[in-house]
Amino acid sequence: MEARLTIHTEQGMGTISKRLYGYFSEHLGRCIYEGTWVGEDSEIPNIEGIRTDVIEALRGLGIPVLRWPGGLFADTYHWRDGVGPRQERQPIVNVFWGGNAESNQFGTHEYFRLCELLGCEPYLAVNMGSGSIQEMADWIEYLTYDGDSRMTKLRRANGRENPWKLKYIGIGNEAWGGGGKMRPEYYADEFRRYACYCRSFAKEPFYKVACGPYGGDTHWTEVLLERAGDMIDGMSLHYYTQREPHRGRATGFGEDFWFDHMELAWKMDQFLTDQDRVMSRYDPRKRIGLIVDEWGTSFEQEEGTNPRFLEQQNTLLDALVACIHLNAFNEHNDRVHMANLAQTVNVIQAVLLTKGPQMIKTPTYHVMEMFRPHHQAERVAINLRSPLYAYHGHTVQALTASVSRHQSDELFVTLGNCDPYCDVWLDVEAGAPARLCEGRVLTDSIWDAHNTFEDPDRLHPVPFDQVETTESGCRILLPAKSVTALRLTLAQ
């Protein structure tokens, strides 16, 4: 089967923000507790209570931004519960996620410390659902004010002298659902009111993210932008790659499940196109960013785990889903300002799984790492002619691609082949012979191949050299169900 990737090396398409490779960590199941926070007295190696292995692994991804504390949890979170001496903090009920006690041991100071340790930007979701404007304003003052005030005295008494740096702030989460069951008209008015009092005390103004729609719902977008577009910097978009009504397990599936997930993953590209079209009616200059602050696969929970903890294995299927999403985000870099994988550790499409002191990297981790050279690189325009992957009368594009560069003569190419059976020869046309500098591929003979605590390295990227130089570029053999990352140098 033949395919062609034409790279228009002369056409730069703007920077691919590193924030397209962001993450989301919620107080949900074992994402924060156990997965990230173990406490200073834990036998698990930690830095000020935060797992050392997790810090190191996330640093390996160049994690740019971390959204916290939810999700649905954010709309039940009252920040004062999570500051002050830890032994005096009172538990609350985590009503959305299992109804168990939330100890509040991990709060504002711990989160900002985590961001410092990771070298990433914070992205706070404030409580609009069950909180108040005053509560939000107090939090902002506590975080960003430098002078003397009731809030800064409290912050200092709690051990932090200087304000933190904070730019990204989300106002409400899924306001159309668990975050208040609002109509878009009502939410737009509420957003205006909250945004009025959501002022940073630092020099740099906040980047305010309004709650946007789910998937392809453009009605919410229309109403929101018409009524509040002038006050919005970014609009969120949530979409999970999940089969309804039976989500199915992450492992042990057949081709129908594989195909469905590829089809569901490809929808993201269409949603970005559709949302951008509507946004452009109100914002033709693309000032307002689309912030895909929840995306990822969602399966039934692993056997023996709490159904509200959303724990799932992560296989080659997740790797392909991630690849399709990330290439789509890159290709929409003029509108998408940020994207946050849901979630970071132990929950939904996690990059890391933990069991006691053990930690493993999932196939999704490897994809995020393989794509890292795209961070802050210049996207290069492409045309992709791809074969179709057909299943029972339905088809999806088999290949996905994205190309960027940091230096004029070196291209970075990420490719996915979601056809589980067909290897594809891809002709790369770049206008000059292309030499492979470095290539890696993630694949396996089994579509639900995954890493386990017993076999943590079953799936990892391996060197790739299936490249032949041609007069105008190169030819690459993309294995069935694979993710490939290549650095190519063009002859001058």
CB of 289 to ligand AHR, least distance (A): 19
Which residue ranges make up the site for ligand AHR (CB under 6 A)? Answer: 26, 70-72, 173-174, 294, 342-343, 348
Cβ proximity to ligand AHR, 67 vs 374, nearer residue: 67
Residue 174: active-site member = yes
Q: For residue 338, what is the enclosing H or E element? A: strand 336-342
Q: Residue 166 corresponds to which tokens in the numbers above?
A: 């904070």
Q: How far apart are CA 383 and CA 194, in angstroms?
A: 43
Give min distance, CB of 72 to ligand AHR, in A.
Answer: 4
Catalytic member of 102, 121, 294, 429: 294
Report how far residue 353's alpha carbon sits from residue 105's, in angstroms, rounded to the nearest whole number: 21
**Quick one: 200 or 314, whose CB is closer to ligand AHR?**
314
Question: Measuring CA to CA, which residue among 101, 105, 67 is closest to residue 89?
Answer: 105
Q: Is 236 helix (H, G, I), strand (E, B) or coil?
A: strand
Q: Minimum distance between the CB of residue 26 and ligand AHR, rounded to whole angstroms?
A: 5
Q: Least distance in Å: CB of 267 to ligand AHR?
A: 17
Q: How does 430-444 read in b/e, with b if 16+ C-beta sit within 10 Å?
A: bebebebeebbbbbb
What is the three-class DSSP state of 157?
helix
Instruction: Quote the CA–CA distance of 351 and 262 in Å, as a whole number.
Output: 19
Calpha distance 293→290 (Å, rounded): 9
Q: Which is nearer to ligand AHR, 268 or 348 (CB)?
A: 348
- Between CA 321 and CA 385 the distance in angstroms is 20
Q: 174, 311, 369, 429: which is the annotated catalytic residue?
A: 174
Q: State the minimum distance, in angstroms, from the CB of residue 427 to ligand AHR.
A: 40
**Total length of the chain:** 492
Q: How far is the CB of 173 from ligand AHR (least distance, A)?
A: 5
**Residue 174 CB, nearest distance to ligand AHR (Å)?**
5
- Residues whose CB is less than 8 angstroms from the CB of residue 295 and which lie 6 or more positions away in sequence, other chains included: 238, 239, 240, 241, 268, 325, 339, 340, 341, 342
Cβ contacts of 408 within 8 Å, gap of 6 or more: none
Residue 323 or 348 with smaller CB distance to ligand AHR? 348
Rank residues 290 and 348 by Cβ distance to ligand AHR and give the closer one.
348
8 Å CB contact between 272 and 399: no
Check residue 47 and report its DSSP letter: E
110 has catalytic annotation: no
Buried b (16+ CB within 10 A) or exposed e, 239-277: bbbbbeeeebbbbebeeebbbbbbbbbbbbbebbebbbe
* In the block, residue with structure tokens 């719902």: 217
Place of tokens 């609350």: 92
- C-beta closer to ligand AHR: residue 239 or 266: 239
**Closest CB 191 distance from ligand AHR, rounded Å:** 17
CB-wise, 72 or 485, nearer to ligand AHR?
72
Helix H or strand E segment including 260: helix 255-282
* Choice between 237 and 370, CB closer to ligand AHR: 237
Nearest to residue 282, comparing CAs of 225, 218, 335, 235? 225
* Residue 376 to residues 15, 64, 333, 383, 405, Cα–Cα distance (Å): 6, 11, 11, 21, 9
Catalytic residue set: 174, 294
